[in-house]
Amino acid sequence: MALTVVALLVLSLLIYYCSQLKSSRRCPLPPGPEKLPIVENLFHIPNGGFIWLEYAQMCRKYKSDIIHLGALGNSIVVLNSIKTVNDLLDIKSSIYSSRPRTVMLGELMGWGSSTVLRPNDDLWKEQRKIMNQAMPPNDTQRFHPKLLNLTHDLLRALPHSDDVVKTLRT
């Protein structure tokens, strides 16, 4: 019994060591709080109040406008200045912008080729060009009457009850 427990402990430590070794070979990430095993930075992520102030305080602590937190296998990158946001999301947007992989919608349900779910490739650029010709972003005024009519139809179709939110969710 004791030998089995020791063997399981050694095996789990070996798996943890190998996973840490594998993750250390990845591209370097911005600074951030020290990660704990398995949960990583789960307890460092703000969950209430003025969240942006807590992130700003973390950025000051690590002396960086960009910090990284990880939680249960997900990465969170916090950008703390307008200059950093403009540099990364406007100027270098073609490097960083794409869609996350959606297995259920994109692959299993076959919606992966829709413009909304498609990664930023040549076909996506063509689809966006066609969509911008048909519906220019600065020409939304022509859709207002239709949107207003549809909104009125929705409001008329809702039952007259006190708990509209519950009705909408069901």
Give the mean pLDDT of the chain. 83
Domain boundaries, the chain: 26-97, 100-157
Neighbours of 52 (CB within 10 A): 11
Residues 6+ apart with CB under 8 A from 25: none
pLDDT at 23: 59
**39 closest CA partner among 72, 75, 69, 77:** 72
Could you tell me which residues are beta bridge partners of residue 74? 71
Is 12 a residue whose pLDDT tops 60?
yes
Dihedral sign, CA of 131, 133, 139, 145?
negative
**52/3: higher pLDDT:** 52
| Vertex 38: Cα angle to 15 and 57 (nearest 5) | 140
pTM recorded for the entire structure: 0.50
pLDDT: which is higher, 65 or 1: 65
Task: List, for residues 98-128, the tens digit of each pLDDT value.
Answer: 777 778 877 788 877 788 888 888 888 898 8
Q: Is the pLDDT of residue 24 over 60?
A: no
Mean pLDDT, residues 76-82: 93
